[in-house]
Structure formats: structure tokens, C-alpha cells
Amino acid sequence: MSVYLDHAATTPMLPEAIEAMVGELSVVGNPSSLHTAGRRARRVVEESREQLAQAVGASPSEVVFTSGGTEADNLAVKGTYRARRAADPRRRRVLVSAIEHHAVLDTAQALADDEGAEVVLLPVDAKGRVQPDAVRSLIEADPQSVALVSVMWANNEVGTLQPIAEIVEIAHRHGIPVHSDAVQAVGKVPVDFARSGLDLMSITGHKLGGPVGVGALVAVRGAELSPLVHGGGQERQVRSGTLDEPAIRSFAVAAALAVERLAGTRVRLTALREALVAGIRGHVPDVVVHGDPDPAGRLPGLVNLSFLGCDGDSLLYLLDAQGVECSTGSACQAGVPQPSHVLVAMGVPDAEVRSALRLSLGHTSTEADVAAVVEALPAAVDRARGAGAVAAASVAAR
């Protein structure tokens, strides 16, 4: 039996999204062409843009299609920084939370390495949440030097939701644009771009039941953005390239369904998560759960746990051998021998950081999946702890 509990990395495509994509794959047409086939493809793209915009509380004219969340983050951070810096050379500071996905953190660091940006990491509390007062203090120290602020909507490792509206209010007092990576949030918690006040927001298809390789940057019409890719001038002149019409159609269908089913999804995933944590605690009483203990302050189907005395990677492989698939953190960092920057930023002790696992539920998760994980974990933890004790004794004997 295979149990998939890594939906935060990617979730299976919805049947309706597959059907929509397959239906478009058999039809030819470049959305930029002026003939009949091209106009048909353009109509599909624009109808999909409207559908996606409605799902996230935006105007269709604010949706810029990209290849996914990483490109959207790059366009938001680099594009805003370059445009704002060109208009005012004083704007060198980029404020990003210390728990951002590497698509934001590494992009900001690239600006520091190559273009003279000053990256300022916004601290988080023990729950993994940015404090608005810290944002206010860092901005007010020198508001004219800030190019942009970027804080994710929901953290991908511990699930903590961020105070986006408060951060936006603080930044906007000084005319500073705010970007949020909402990749993990759409379809799991309410996301309304217009009501949030954000200037830019990144979303992607494969986290909500759509295909891999398509996403969008939602950007207000007045957003200052320099393009990263030049060519045909598609997508408001800020993202050139032939649009992947079948993927866009599938993405829009998946987003609409995920949002339509949101209320039921939250209830179901919250119940499954609670059963999962309770079951694990029943067998491994000393397990440590990270993030916000209040369900209202976190994603409904994600849990990050530390199993003291275990190596997280070893535990992952032991579970995988029993058919349970999970992760130690972000899939983009899988296989990289370094501790979770998210847990480190939260002040989690090193022993807990290195023994952490992320279990994330999604639309295909069932009570049977939860039961299988609860059954498999005790033996895996015992073996991992045994291996850890042997390794520690070996080191001590040297």
C-alpha cells in the first residue's frame, strides 16, 4: 500500500483538470496568432484568465501567466526591485521574511550579489509568524531606501499563516509595494487578492490540483515591474513567451474547483490532521509539533513534527520503505544536507530541526492513509533512534 503525504510538494491533478488539459492538447493554435486557430486559443486563454482571477479575488487584467511559482516570485522580486531602483537609486533594501521559500530568498540574495541590493530578513516568532511591529520598525528606520517587502501567505514547512493585511497597511503608508508567495494558500485557506491590499501575489498550478509548469503573478495594474524575459511582449510586456494554452486552461479549472470546494476541504483536512497528530502522539508521546497550535492560524492539512533521537532523512527513508511518502521540508531542498532554515528562524533547537518530518495532506488523503502512517511510524522511529544511538556511540568512541 502506498500512502502519499507530500501534497505540499505537489498534489495529484484533479480529474477535471486532466480532462481540460487533454482536451486542449489535441487542438492546434498559438494564442498570439491572428488566424482562426490562434483566435480560438486566445479566447481559451482569456476565459481561463477570467476564471482564475475570480478564484483569487483579482481582476483578469491583473493576472500574468508564468511557468510556475518560482518564476512568479522571481518576476515579482527582481522585476519590482529593478524598476524601483531605476526610478530612485536610494531604494536598495529588500525586506523578506526569514522563512520564505528559496524562490524568494535566493532571488533576493542574487540581487544582493549582482546588483547591490541589501537584503533584510524579517524575524519570526516561535510559531513561525512575522510580527508587524518588526516590519514597521525596519521600514521606518529608512523608508526611502526600501524597494519592496515580500512575505509569504502561508509557510510551506510549518503551515503558519502570516498577517498579510497588517504588513500591507504598514508598507503602504510609505508607498512601498508588498509581494506575497501564496502558492501554498490558494484552495486551502481563503485568498482574496483585492481585499488583501497586496501589490503582487504568486500562485501555481501543481499545488492545487493543476499541472506542473504553469502559474501566475497577480499584479495590480500600476505595479512597477521590469521584465525578466524579452521577446514577443506577451503578458503586459513583462513576461514574453508563447503561452501554454492547455496548461493554462487546466490551471484555471483546478483553481476554480479548489476554491469552490474550500470550505469542505478545510473541515476534512483539519479533522484528518488532528487524527494524525493524536495517533502519532499515542505511539510516540515525546513527538514535538511545530507551528501555530491554533487551527485558525495555520494551513489545515500540514503538520511538521520532530522525533527526538532520529535523523529526519533516515526516518523518511524508513517510512518510504513501508510505502509512506513524506518529506523533511521543502521539495526544492530535498537531498540538500542542510537544516531547515524555517525551523532555525523559529528558534527550534538543533536536535529538533534535524529530526523533523513534514506530513502534508491533500484532496486524495483518507482516514486509511492516516491509519497507515500511525501504524508505520512507531517501528520506523525505533529503528531510526537505534541507528542514531549506534552512530553517537561510534563517534564518542573515536
- 312 in the same domain as 290: yes
How many angstroms separate the CA atoms of 245 and 240, rounded? Answer: 14
Which of 260, 276, 311 is the endpoint of a domain?
260
pLDDT for 95 equals 98
336 pLDDT more than 80 = no
Residues 6+ apart with CB under 8 A from 194: 57, 58, 59
- 53 in the same domain as 89: yes
> Which residues are paired to 244 by β-bridges?
none
Which of 260, 283, 300 is the endpoint of a domain?
260
User: For the segment 357-378, what is each residue's pLDDT rounded down to a tens digit?
Assistant: 999 999 999 999 999 999 999 9
- 113 in the same domain as 197: yes
397 pLDDT more than 70 = no
Which of 233, 260, 287 is the endpoint of a domain?
260
> What are the C-alpha distances in Å from 98 to residues 80, 102, 122, 163, 242?
19, 10, 6, 15, 35
User: For the segment 17-55, what is each residue's pLDDT rounded down to a tens digit?
Assistant: 999 999 999 999 999 999 999 999 999 999 999 999 999
66 pLDDT more than 80 = yes
Residue 155 lies inside a defined structural domain of this protein = yes
Residue 222 lies inside a defined structural domain of this protein = yes
Catalytic (active-site) positions: 332
Portion of the chain with pLDDT greater than 70, in percent: 95
69 pLDDT more than 60 = yes
Residue 22 lies inside a defined structural domain of this protein = yes
- 98 in the same domain as 172: yes
- 324 in the same domain as 300: yes
- Amino acid identity of residue 43, one-letter, is R
- 214 in the same domain as 332: no
Residue 298 lies inside a defined structural domain of this protein = yes
Structural domain of residue 293, as residue ranges? 3-10+262-391
Domain count, the chain: 2
Residue 396 lies inside a defined structural domain of this protein = no
pLDDT for 398 equals 55
315 pLDDT more than 80 = yes
Q: For the residues 128-134, what does the mean pLDDT come to?
A: 97
CATH of the domain at 375: 3.90.1150.10
- 272 in the same domain as 248: no
How many angstroms separate the CA atoms of 201 and 62, rounded? Answer: 10
- 270 in the same domain as 215: no
The CA dihedral of 273, 100, 62, 225, to the nearest 10 degrees, is -170
Residue 349 lies inside a defined structural domain of this protein = yes
Q: For the residues 129-147, what does the mean pLDDT come to?
A: 97
